[in-house]
Structure 1
């Protein structure tokens, strides 16, 4: 780590010490986690409530104190020499009002950021049942997921998803074929401690793909200074018999830190009351990572290396027309499909038709304090290998139909000028160099391509006592090139294969050489005003940018993960969004209220539409001897607007009644005049109105054997969505539904009060309601126009009960 080379710089000794006490009793509080987010460093208070950071750079930091049972608190501390800062924590029944957010260039408080930001902590992730890490945020107002079964979810923010949402892992943009909706985010669920969600354009900091927002998945951090610590987890979920486990170990001493995690998950096909077990939705997932770091008075340097390996079955929804039992493909000709037997539906073994997604990542984070200024230099290399095994017969079962090899180098440099009079100015440049090779498979839905991104920005923030203003401007440039491809049928296997030179004579040419550039200017301007400890307002105007992805530009084929033939358009222009946000919060000991309104207009909006003949029948495209319905990307203009809100009551001690709701409308302005009608006036894939109400009671507060005990009941109501883009039968309405969820958890203690184990019983869809989520891709996996039971498409997961054990040490 080249940051070590700065160790000889002659910085003076700086330290931060203090004491944490109860605001009402003045008694010291032990085991409070004190965190300096900008240093990626934390420590625990001792039995007397004291903490000490030594050998840290002189600077102004936002320091957070957090412990179970108290209101999280953060305050700005200027560290110069031996600095002392005490914390007085309030043991209040209100929810967390102030948390540290690292999604911007510098750590700040939520109330002081003009952006609409949500922070989700480890407690929320642990005490809510989810089937993957993106599913864990699906109940947040304004956030939804596009799903293909329980283990494949893509984030959707305020009606926008895929390449319009930038997913980060510890601040590094996740690169793994995001254009596809048939595989999930390649991240270990168990390794995430915190999730930060920006609900709106964030192109200023991140460039293309942050047009609609950012989901930052923050992994488990290093343990406190001077301690070796860790955790072990075991989980079982009843619906698909999921077995999950994870082991984490970390150490931190004298400025040197290290750690590692290993996780494993596997599951059989999930089930519901309509379909029974849904064939080919099982998975087997392995993940691991190791990290090393050093903290010195010049700053810090962290190296993290991770791998993710997922064997994920591919459903296609084929059934017997009378019994509605699922069938499976057993021959390449596919002229007969037998009914799937019970043994295969309940087996942990991965079927022949499946995909394997492997993702490898190494990234280096460096922060150098240069006097009163600071330089952040972050670099990452990612390698994504995605194979879809679509050939059911020997000897080609191990020959991938689709084989995508994506390699990405990311860079991110930021220079922080010395702050003066609460002015903070940051210059930055970031981007990536990317290459994707598709030539090792037998199916070619996209061409091989390369692209280079370069973006530069300036960000300015000014803080007063109650008012904060922030803004900036950015320019992005993307250089894109895809390669031509000629294919012929292999006379032995009967599969397509690339050909070169003279062999191209008489060959098919699905793709031609193509190159282009995309450019965009974006920016934002906003402010927040904190009237007092209870009231605050914020507003923001932002312009977002997104370059078209490879599928939207060049797609020309089909693969088993979609079930349709996709056509792109090389004439597409970049998307640009203009969004206005306005929000406010009120917080007291008995009541928390928050609301947020937004309006977002997008030009050159890219959407998918189904192609049909004049008589209303599907236009079919042939691929591999089979015919598929055809979809083609279109470009137009849309207007999105909506409202999100929450109201939480804490009138009775230990009793929490929390409610949240979100409503989003999408107006498709791509059609005007006589061309506009009820079938095409809405934007596709708009989430319906949703309400989540939760009643939670904290038990056994003064017990010597139990702590953090809770019991909760949750209602999840989703309204009917009939505002759909039904033009050419692209989208169909979805009935509303109500789900009841339950949860119980506690921490067992020994005689000395030390943790033995945390135990959780969680249940989703307690009454086994049959429903289809509007954004579920499986809803459209149907080959018949009617069925004997009156149900079409595949339904979502039925009742699911989880038992989880967590041991911290």
Structure 2
């Protein structure tokens, strides 16, 4: 046994003694052969890159031997993607980039092979946080609704839950720092729990991603990419400030990062504070205020054949739970009822690179402390009213969720045209209660999953195949005394699932791509669905769980058609999603303490719909972009009833301007005008009401100005310019007749240091 350990150690050490390789070259403009400065040269698998200097020259050192994908991108030019073989100590790569009016492509990280979107077999939507913030989004939950097919179940403006093609809560999995975000996401009255500070981009997988991520990815994945470390031997910093007129909101963050050849470090502090928002009727919604503090930091160490990084995120949010339009106040301190939520997210990612293969290990630990402070009774008649929170007052609900997760993936050496990844994933999760109110009992959940997926490259097409097996165990404690109204019995359940996925992409022509994907998914019932027995602040329901619920299982078919040339692109995405044993709430016609009783039921369901869009860049008006997209989804139960919380059909039309192409004095200048129309939603569940249609007008502009040699980015945007009074179908305040936010003007500046 000792000899085996010594042999393994020597084999590992050999990997680190491989020759250190260098890639160098130059990037020029194909039209006039002038050098291009600040072109990004990046190895997605190695997570290492640089930019060109004023002469168009670049150099990347300490690269391992083998074949690796390289992506070269620059605004206004076609993105270059190719596999390069690094075998010599020094490899040369010089390229001429072709101009393109369509935006440059980015590497998709949420799928396992890290390819550009046009190379992916699975369709993934990606957008940068910078673009979302430029549109005036108050927070991340609001910002992602700009992505076609993505909406948000909202409770005011501070609390939002992503909805992908009609599915939300535990059917949509959120990933951050490369690990699962576990924060009691089963409830639609819980927020996303992530600040956009320190997040670089958002990727959305629409449809079952259980093959890649296991349970809870039945409806899709929201994948948040953290900001990258600085390039080698570089130092960066920035300060970002925002003001929102409607909520008198203040939002800001500042970051610093520095890297040597081997060691990298970054840190970012952020925070926000908002008062109660105003509706289009100029009334403030009482207790819709919220405050947030956020810290993100990271440390990385990189050798030729090995890299590791450690990231940590602290987030504390104080979220009011609005119930009425009452006292008109611009106070920022919490009044009851409100949530106080603290999250700690610690992750590590390590990679070892062999000759044409690699091993990745991602470990994560999250702790979510969720406290809810409820109204107290006052006066002789016992009237309930919101009051200032008293320091030291114990929360009614106090839950702590601790989750350890692991994700091991081995990328095998490429055999001919076939790339293959095998993986082992899982988690151990413990839920504990410390308050007088128990929403879900103390419980332990364990997951383990095995997966294998392959990407086959053919002449003008690609095939992706995958298989996965998962097992989940849930072991909960009983709560209360047998016979009591709120007694919760112990649950000991095992769930397992076998899932398959297959995809086919065809390059019909140089400009036309079609994709067909068929995948199965599953979701084990959560603790709330299995064990609930009681009312909860903000739900206005008395929920009773069902310990005998089965796995939800689905099969979804996706078909997409895409056309793109230098000045025009369009896409059409259609899907059909068949779900067996869909879990839903249904009232039984009784009430407990004034709260209607809802039971968890199961029934087969179907969802279908899709998205269509176009982007026209007329020649020779290089500064003008015309964009339009339409999204639709229908959700039905087998008995012909409609599913709840299905987004209304919507149509967005945007005129976007690049002022820098009109006059170079407008450095990075842009402007936009958007009209987004939501159609009436009349296909509602038995306990929902219909919602009228409405249209919202948004506009904005921004540019970079230089003051005393200091560049400053500024932006000004206005959402709901006409101050329209409306109620979204996905607003949880709809049942109280409370409107959504009115006109909101955002002024923001960003100062690079």
Partners of 1:349 and 1:408 in 2: CA distance? 31
| Mapping for residues 569-608 of structure 1, pairs under 5 Å | 569-608=546-585
Does the CA-based 8 Å contact 1:363-1:379 persist in structure 2? Answer: yes
Which residue of 386, 389, 393 corresponds with 2:370?
A: 386
Shift of 1:656: 0.3
2:461 maps to 467
Aligned to 2:683: 723
- Hey, what's the Cα distance between the residues in 2 that align with 1:509 and 1:270? 36
Aligned-pair CA distance for 1:83? 2.4
Q: Does 1:89 align with 2:58?
A: no
Matched residue, 2:447: 453
Distance 2:390 2:109 in 1: 51
Relative to structure 1, is the Cα distance of residues 121 and 71 closer, same or farther in structure 2, using a 3 angstrom cutoff?
Answer: farther
Question: Deviation string for 1:120-159 (max 9, x for gaps)?
Answer: 1244223212121122110211111111111211111111
Q: 1:303 aligns with which of 303, 306, 310?
A: 310
Give the stretch that moved more between structures: 346-355 or 421-430.
346-355
Residue 692 of structure 1: which of 625, 630, 652 is its match?
652
**Residues 607 and 416 of structure 1, relative CA distance in 2, 3 Å threshold:** same
Aligned to 2:705: 748
* Inter-partner Cα distance in structure 2 for 1:8 and 1:370: 6
Residue matched to 1:660:
629
Residue 385 of structure 2 corresponds to which residue in structure 1?
none
Superposition deviation, residue 700 in structure 1: 3.7
Shift of 1:106: 2.1
Q: Which digits, 9 at most, give the CA deviation of each residue in 1:363-416, with x for residues without a partner? A: 100111133321111101110000001144797972111111000000000111
Q: Is the 8 A contact 2:23 2:61 kept in 1?
A: yes
Which of 543, 565, 584 is the aligned partner of 1:566?
A: 543
Can you give the 5+ residue segments of structure 2 that lack an aligned partner in the other structure?
Answer: 1-8, 378-388
Q: Any idea what the Cα deviations from partners look like across 1:567-599, whole Å, max 9, x if unmatched?
A: 111111001110111111111122111111111
Q: In the alignment, which of 250, 273, 277 is matched to residue 270 of structure 1?
A: 277
Report if aligned partners of 1:111, 1:528 keep a CA contact under 8 Å in 2.
no
Structure 2 distance, partners of 1:452, 1:216, is: 22
- Give the Å deviation of 1:113: 1.9
* Residues 262-341 of structure 1 mapped to structure 2, 5 A cutoff: 262-274=269-281, 276-317=283-324, 325-326=325-326, 340=327
Residues 484 and 509, structure 1, Cα contact 8 Å, conserved in 2: no
Name the structure 1 match of 2:692: 735
Distance 1:288 1:477 in 2: 34
Q: Determine the structure 2 residue equivalent to 1:347.
A: 331
Aligned to 1:566, what secondary structure does the other structure show?
A: strand
SS of 2:140 mapped into structure 1: coil
CA–CA distance in 1 between the matches of 2:504 and 2:611? 19
> Counterpart in 2 of 1:432?
427
Residue 743 of structure 2 is aligned to residue 799 of structure 1: yes
Query: 741, 746, 759: which one pairs with 2:714?
Result: 759
Distance 2:173 2:32 in 1: 45
User: What TM-score, normalized by structure 2, do the two folds share?
Assistant: 0.94
Alpha-carbon distance in 2 for matches of 1:275, 1:382:
40
Is 2:620 aligned against 1:620?
Answer: no
Write the deviation string for residues 753-788 of structure 1: whole angstroms up to 9, x where unpaired: x661000001110001111111111112x2xxxxxx
Q: Residue 248 of structure 1 is aligned with which of 245, 255, 273? A: 255
Aligned to 1:39, the other structure's residue is in SS state coil
The 1:509–1:691 alpha-carbon spacing in structure 2 relative to 1, beyond 3 Å, is: closer
Q: Tell whether 2:493 aligns with 1:526.
A: no
Quick check: 1:482 aligned with 2:437?
A: no
Bigger mean CA deviation after superposition, 407-416 or 37-46: 37-46
Tell me what 2:381 maps to.
Answer: none
Alpha-carbon distance, 1:731 to partner: 0.9
Q: State which drifts further: 71-80 or 732-741.
A: 71-80
Distance 1:645 1:59, change over 3 A: farther
Corresponding residue number in structure 1 for 2:384: none
- Aligned equivalent of 2:71, options 64, 75, 84: 64
Superposition pairs of residues 343-382 of structure 1, within 5 angstroms: 345-382=329-366
> Which residue of the partner structure matches residue 181 of structure 1?
188
- Where 2:480 maps in the other structure, the secondary structure is strand
Q: Distance in 1 between matches of 2:282 and 2:643?
A: 30
Partner of 2:143: 136
In the alignment, the residues of structure 2 paired with residue 485 and residue 368 of structure 1 have an alpha-carbon distance, to the nearest angstrom, of 47
What is aligned with 1:408?
A: 403
Which one of the candidate residues 91, 98, 109 is aligned to 2:116? 109
- The SS at the match of 2:661 is coil
Quote the offset at 1:509 in angstroms: 5.8
Task: Provide Cα deviations, 1:433-474, integer angstroms capped at 9, x if missing partner.
Answer: 000002x11111211111000000111111123211101100
Residues 584/85 of structure 1: CA separation in 2 closer, same or farther (3 Å cut)? farther
Partner of 1:710: 670
Aligned residue pairs: how many? 729
- Whether the 8 Å contact between 1:661 and 1:692 is mirrored in structure 2 is yes
C-alpha displacement of 1:51: 1.5
TM-score by length of 1: 0.87
Counterpart position of 1:789: none
CA contact (8 A) 2:102 2:566 kept: yes
1:532 Cα deviation from its structure 2 partner: 3.7
| Deviations 1:600-624, CA, capped at 9 Å, x for gaps | 1000101122332xxxxxx2113xx
Q: 1:294 touches 1:301 (CA, 8 Å); kept in 2?
A: yes
Per-residue deviation, 1:60: 2.7
Counterpart Cα distance in 1 of 2:66 and 2:160 = 41
Following TM superposition, by how much is the alpha carbon of 1:80 offset from its aligned partner in structure 2, in angstroms? Answer: 2.6
1:750 CA drift (Å): 5.7
Where does structure 1 differ by over 4 angstroms across 4 or more consecutive aligned residues? 5-8, 393-397, 506-509, 702-705
Taking the aligned partners of 1:141 and 1:131, their CA distance within structure 2 comes to 19
Cα deviation, residue 536, structure 1: 0.9
1:757-796 paired onto structure 2 within 5 Å: 757-780=712-735, 782=736, 793-796=737-740
Describe the superposition over 1:521-546 as per-residue Cα deviations: whole angstroms up to 9, x where unpaired.
11100111123431111111100111
- CA distance 1:83–1:561, change in 2 (3 Å): farther
| Preserved contact between residue 486 and residue 508 of structure 1 (Cα < 8 Å) | no
C-alpha deviation, 1:93, in angstroms: 1.8
Question: Among 407, 413, 418, which residue is 1:418 paired with?
Answer: 413
Tell me: CA distance 1:561–1:71, structure 2 relative to 1, closer, same or farther (3 Å): farther
CA RMSD of aligned residues (A): 2.0
SS in 2 for 1:485: coil
How big is each residue's C-alpha offset from its partner over 1:328-381, in whole Å with a ceiling of 9 and x where there is no partner?
Answer: xxxxxxxxxxxx2x3xx2111222421101000111001111333211111011
CA distance in 2, matches of 1:479, 1:513: 13
Give, in angstroms, the shift of residue 699 of structure 1.
Answer: 1.1
- Quote the offset at 1:52 in angstroms: 1.5
